[in-house]
Structure 1
Amino acid sequence: MSDDTDDMDEVLAEVGPRLRRIRKERGATLAGLSETTGISVSTLSRLESGLRKPSLELLLPIARAHQVPLDELVGAPTVRDPRVRSEPIVRGGRTHWPLTRQPGGLQAYKVLEPQRKIEPDLRTHEGYEWLYVMAGRLRLLLGEHDVILGPGEAAEFDTRVPHWFGSTGEGPVEFLSLFGPQGERMHVRARPKKPQ
């Protein structure tokens, strides 16, 4: 019994530093997090320094504000999605999880773009891309257009058009990317209309 208690105390002791690290990685301040979560600055500070024990009531709004699973805040062991067998790839500060296993042809990725402010660098290349935002807001520059996509919104475009996509600087964004290097296009079938 005391071994279990010691293990639990050890897990709880690591929550504070993890909360601080995640907040700083996202460029958030205690005041900003307080405003978003409704938790006082002093309570947040005590949580991060380990002077206050974390509770579900406090951790849930923090997880929502940072758009991370609760498991990440408490350091629970990662349970891998059995459908995703590939290791994540970090490229240019962005994390990609490959969702397709065969080389060539249409490639699918789950992507996490951290909160950051970077100067857009528009590029062109052969191919066709489809983006779908799951959480956060994604900025897309496409030719002369500058668009912000929110959760549930999608865009598709020919990658020969100058383009760039990334963080709006407001928070992290999680999205799906489907890319056809030879210009393959997604084909979405519309539901047939019911006869009137």
Structure 2
Amino acid sequence: MTQEKDELDGLVRKRIRALRVAQGWSLEELAGRANVSQSTLSRIENGQRRLALDQLVTLARALDTSLDQLVENATDDVISSPVIDAAHGLMRWAVKADPGLSVVRQRMTEPPPDSPARLRAHPGREWLVVLSGTAVLLLGNRRIRIETHQAAEFPTMLPHAIGTAGGPCEIMGIFDRDARRGHQRGDGPDAGAPHDRGAPPA
């Protein structure tokens, strides 16, 4: 139980930092928005200060998310295998119905970023399927290989990024409204598209 609590504690701290970086805010700017001192926020992100409920509520509000999403635990069910109907050239892959879903197809040629600072987090949920090649999903502390015709579903409040495992790969990404909004707040010409190394992941 203590280990699980420590893991969630560390995950929440990473989310706070990743959400701040995703907004392009300095420690000073988020501290001002959350009405805490810059040194307090720095110690919260670095694990040098206990996480207090009242501060988490304030930080969640300042980061445009909810407390529930900020402290959501990691999901173990990341990889799934769609049903392939080779005879008819079809691939069936069930996702939760949502009228706000967006679908984007992208070819990637770069590996995922090698710096934890490049991982991004935001409210929402994403699904992706690898159409060809092999992708690597960085999800919190996990590094997950996703092979051709495998799919992944994950909450975007986990700091994450995706790239290739050595050669080009093609993926199809599906985003709910919140995840799409997170991508649209990204930087560069590819904002709004699935993650790659050139465009920081949402």
For the criterion TM > 0.5, the same-fold answer is no
- Report which of the two has the higher share of helix: 2
- Give the TM bin, normalised by the shorter chain: 0.3 to 0.5
Normalised to the residue count of structure 2, the TM-score between the two structures is 0.41
The structure showing larger relative contact order (alpha-carbon pairs under 8 Å, at least 6 residues apart) is 2
Structure of larger gyration radius: 1
